[in-house]
Amino acid sequence: MQHMDGTIFVIMGVTGDLATRKLIPALHELLKDGHLQKCAIIGVANDQTATIDSILEKSKSFIPEPNSDVLQKIRDVFVYQPFDFNDQSGYQKLKVTLENLESQFGFSGQRIFYLSVMPDYFAPITQNLALAGIIKKGDNSRIAYEKPFGHNLASAKSINKAIHSVFDESQIYRVDHFLGKELVDNIALVRFTNLFLQPLWNHQYIDNIQIFLNEEIDINHRGAFYDRYGALRDVVQNHMLQLLALIAMEPPKALDGQHIRDAKSAVLQCVKVEDVIKGQYAGYRTESGVNPNSTTETFAALRLSIENDRWTGVPFYLKTGKCLRAKNTSIHITFKSAQCMVSTPCPPPQNHLIINIDPAHGFALEINAKVSGYSNQIAPVPMTFCHSKLCPNSPEAYETLLFDIMKGDQSAFVRFDEIEHSWAIIDAAHAQHPETPPTIYEKGSQGPDELKIWAEKYNFVWRD
């Protein structure tokens, strides 16, 4: 079993939602499974009332099977250091704590800083860590930035510039938790290790590609954050464009961090926004923290094109929203119809390759097969692979990602140029119909009525 030792995790924003629900539970799992044996954790937040016990107690309910020995182990190596992220003296104390822990445990300086804070803090925290002499360009420390990375292209560029003055890109881990999901991790491997897919993966054989991130949940008490962001910035800029990049990128020279990211960056640069639908669920404006006149979209559908030899003429439809009928994160690749020969119907139904990410995990390939009897009647049948049957105990996305940061593997993290190309796409989407307010849609529906108009106008069938 591969395991990593001697790391100090510094979680900035330790009392926040992500640390509570995901990061501390992920550390628990890594310790429980033995992937992590010796570590220390320093939690930082601007909350004088929190304590180690209150932080761990809150997190415990998000750990699927809390183990009391592991929880005790975490408590033994956990230090809580409350300070304001703009207060230099707090960083001086942090430096002393880091040095004391390293000498107490005999660690040799591998430090991981995880910034689970709003992006406005990314540059100041990074610069304050450097000013206090806690980190130096090219040293043994790594820094992870939780999404969203900025608010638009200009802010992302300015954060990149600020953090590059302190860190080398090889030390920077821009987190997109979708890249830690098993089925997302599978996309490039499936694409490039199955020979039969390779000649078909282009505009000659693919009719359209649809990517869904439909959510049943609402904004989950995050009104103040969400109203500033909206669906395009919250999930399209990152999760959905990363899925598109993995599906559409050219074969990388190797499946390693540098080459995968070169290939994703190159394809994101060729994406053009053709059309956008924005929606807002009924009742959104009365959610706590939301402006009563808000025009923030809780739903977005995009029609994108990719201007390169492989994808010319193939529309990519992305659709996401809160309060939709059911959770469904999936990718549907629809192939063109085969030639009309002797079968009924003629032409035969199109084949589909479906990658189910959540809540189902797996693949399905819909092929045509003969219906029993004497006719030439055919019908689509799914050939399905259910991932959880093969691998019932897959790690959670954040476990995989934390482990990758410890190993120094950047392949599941987003490089500065990918981030900037993605924001350019989102800025272009916002620039479409800027004066048109989002259409109100009913909770529990599939989204605004314009979806039907698109299906007719662009002559395709929504697959969700």
Catalytic site positions: 239
Distance in Å, CB of 116 to ligand BG6, minimum: 12
Distance in Å, CB of 239 to ligand BG6, minimum: 6
Distance in Å, CB of 359 to ligand BG6, minimum: 9
User: Within a 13 Å sphere around the CA of 445, how many CA atoms are in the beta-carbon half?
Assistant: 17
Task: Tell me the sheet residues that pair with 363.
Answer: 355, 385
Beta strands 141-145 and 172-174, pairing class: parallel
CB of 408 or CB of 444, closer to ligand BG6: 444
Closest listed residue to residue 441, CA positions, set 302, 298, 231: 298
Task: Please give the residue ranges that form the binding site for ligand BG6 (CB under 6 A).
Answer: 147, 215, 234-235, 329, 358
CB of 191 or CB of 327, closer to ligand BG6: 327
Distance, first Cα to last Cα, the chain: 40
Say how far apart CA 279 and CA 450 lie, in whole Å.
Answer: 9
Say how far apart CA 269 and CA 307 lie, in whole Å.
Answer: 9
CB of 22 or CB of 73, closer to ligand BG6: 22
User: Within a 13 Å sphere around the CA of 120, how many CA atoms are in the beta-carbon half?
Assistant: 4
CB of 23 or CB of 235, closer to ligand BG6: 235
Q: Do 5 and 38 touch, CB atoms closer than 8 A?
A: yes
Side chain identity, residue 439 = T
Q: What does 161-191 look like in DSSP terms, one character per residue?
A: HHHHTTS-GGGEEE--GGGGSHHHHHHHHHH
Nearest residue (beta carbon) to ligand BG6: 234
Distance in Å, CB of 242 to ligand BG6, minimum: 11
Nearest-10 Cα torsion for 396, 123, 142, 248: 50
Residue 113 makes CB contacts below 8 A (sequence gap 6+) with 10, 12, 129, 135, 141, 142, 143, 144
Q: What does 4-46 look like in DSSP terms, one character per residue?
A: B-SEEEEEETTTSHHIIIIIHHHHHHHHHTTSB-SEEEEEEES
Distance in Å, CB of 358 to ligand BG6, minimum: 5
Q: Which two tokens stand for residue 386?
A: 């259910």
Distance in Å, CB of 212 to ligand BG6, minimum: 11
CB of 227 or CB of 366, closer to ligand BG6: 227
Distance in Å, CB of 458 to ligand BG6, minimum: 27
- Taking only Cα atoms into account, the Rg of the chain, rounded to an integer number of angstroms, comes to 24
Task: Tell me the sheet residues that pair with 356.
Answer: 330, 362
CB of 110 or CB of 280, closer to ligand BG6: 280
Length of the chain: 464
CB of 366 or CB of 404, closer to ligand BG6: 404
Distance in Å, CB of 396 to ligand BG6, minimum: 10
Report long-range pairs for 383-389 (Cβ below 8 Å, ≥24 apart): 386/360, 386/361, 386/362, 387/182, 387/183, 387/186, 387/361, 387/362, 388/361, 388/362
CB of 25 or CB of 315, closer to ligand BG6: 25
Say how far apart CA 464 and CA 456 lie, in whole Å.
Answer: 16
